[in-house]
Amino acid sequence: MLRDAVRDHGARLAVADGDVRLSYQDLAGLAERAARAFLRLGVRPGDRVAVWMPNRYEFIVAMLGAQSIGAVVVPMNTRYRGHEATAILARSRACALVVSNGFLDLDLIGMLRRAAAEADVPRGAGAVPGLPHLRTVIDVPAGQVPAGALSWSDFLAGGDEVPAEDAREAADRVGPDDLCDILYTSGTTGRPKGVMSAHRQTVDVARIWAAGAGLSPDDRYAVVNPFFHGFGYKAGVITSLTAGAAVHPVPVFDGDRLLELIERERITVLPGTPTLFLSLLAHPRLKDHDLSSLRFATAGAATVPETLFTRMREELGFAQVAQAYGLTECMMVTQSRPNEDPRHVAETTGPPVPGVELRLVGGDGAEVPRGEDGEILVRGRNTMLGYFEDEEATRAAVDEDGWLRTGDVGRLDEHGCLKITDRLKDMFTVGGFNVYPAEVEGVLAAHPDVAEAAVVGRPDARMGSVAVAHVVARPGSAPDPGELIAHCRSRLAGFKAPREIVLTGSLPRNAAGKILKSELRAAAGRDVGRPADG
């Protein structure tokens, strides 16, 4: 893909990140230099390389450099705290970590070392005690390089000792069916599961998305969606590279800076979550900026307000708006048709994309008639290879015929377009990020004052949903809600932490003893701000 891009668009702008402006030729040269540096560190085909940093050009360089020699990239959420990062690095057995220490003034490496030190494993001789497979930590400038880490500049300089031909020969050996990336997603058990994709799948997803967006070398794509997420990585960076467009990384959402970027760089493509567009529409200085360059937007990953797409066209000036449905296990399932009526876009996520089959089934496994709700099953060339080293979870998710159970409920309209109507899983989204209650409940249960916890999503106009935790205290304890929230924030990404703690004497259960989260969700929607029971 990268060689084709250099051939077809060599002198065109590939990445613009502040004062750094890279042509496709420049980007390929830096990626090859990173590939040589990884080879010097002993990274070999199949080894995992984790990347823990915000949207910036070095992320793209590190990712392409590792993948070009057959290494497998493991992107990590920048909102992770030390325990979450340690879990991903341990499960993937990553041998190298590229991190931007100091991002958002956080000592990411310090958090990692403190959390890993609690791990019940031999100390080993790795770069982080408690993570014996992690041989090297590479720090991309965001502050002072911590002791024991290799600076980005020294990392690249080390690669100059490796002949360029070695990197090119390594790239020649990488095949389309080789493992390309592992994106970790927590499940209903709260245990991280690594979704595996091959090179052909990652590039294919990007090409499908680019075709649906009509992406071309004339486009300038502001990627606000995080690179560690499939939306920003595959539907952002890789999509742009397949089309010869320019990537403009946005590390943190800031309304003023984003509006300035759109005007200054004449941004044409701006996907994001509904929260992003609602924030722009409510910005007090929106009309002070020239947004006439905007052409295409996709809003997904959360509940979409009915009028959002119409307002995006009328007030933000987008020529085309779209919605799509996908999940980490199958990045592209459906996508709005070109020139679709904004009202229809708001109601559905479009028909299946090329190469993907879709079935809606009832509880008995039989297909439901069009217009009726059923669980969404998908099958196609982009369905995951499986969960990394977790055959049991893979078998539970994908049947013998290759159908992936999404856990989502939807219906097809008369045009064959999919409408998402419900989720079978307890998962909900906060600002476009998935929150799995089991993970939050596990953290709360570890608090000495908590006997039991149940977490649900509460509708929120700006974030889509926020977490509400219903907590039963241990006998004789009187937990402070603020302390419980702080406890979660110290161990989880901020978007996962409960916004509200409801102290209760008991949790509603059915005859089998299962917690009735449907009742808790209903209460969260009705009783915001009411005193806790019990």
Concatenating the DSSP letter of every residue in 85-140 gives HHHHHHHHT-SEEEE-TTGGG--HHHHHHHHHHTSSS---SSSBTTBTT--EEEE-
Residue 236 has pLDDT above 50, yes or no: yes
Q: Say what the pLDDT of residue 511 is.
A: 47
What's this model's pTM, rounded to 2 decimal places?
Answer: 0.84
The CATH class for the domain spanning 2-174 reads alpha beta
* Per-residue CA distances from 189 to 58, 77, 442, 473, 495 (Å): 34, 19, 9, 22, 19
Q: What is the mean pLDDT of residues 32-50?
A: 98
Would the pLDDT of 521 be above 90? no
503, pLDDT greater than 80:
yes
pLDDT band at 451 (very low <50, low <70, confident <90, very high): confident
* pLDDT of 513 over the 70 cut: no
Mean pLDDT, the chain, rounded, equals 90
At position 270, the amino acid (one-letter code) is L
Report the pLDDT value the prediction gives residue 142, as an integer from 0 to 100: 65
Instruction: Give me the helices (H) in 398-528, please.
Output: 437-445, 481-489, 517-526
Residue 484 near residue 498 (C-beta atoms within 8 A): yes
| Intervals of CATH 3.30.300.30 along the chain | 428-526
Architecture of domain 214-322: 3-Layer(aba) Sandwich (3.40)
* Cβ atoms of 154 and 35 closer than 8 Å: no
pLDDT over 90 at 437, yes or no = no
What per-residue confidence (pLDDT) applies to 408?
86
Digit-coded pLDDT (tens) for 251-303: 999 999 999 999 999 999 999 988 789 889 989 999 999 999 999 999 865 45
Interatomic CA distance for residues 242 and 463, integer angstroms:
31
Mean pLDDT of 131-135: 95
Q: Which residue ranges does the chain devote to CATH 3.40.50.980?
A: 2-174, 214-322
What average pLDDT does range 311-316 have in this prediction? 94
What is the dotted CATH code of the domain comprising 428-526?
3.30.300.30
> How high is the pLDDT of residue 174?
97
Token pair 């970590």 in the structure block, residue: 97
C-alpha–C-alpha distance, residues 37 and 135, integer Å: 14
Q: How far apart are CA 340 and CA 139, in angstroms?
A: 45
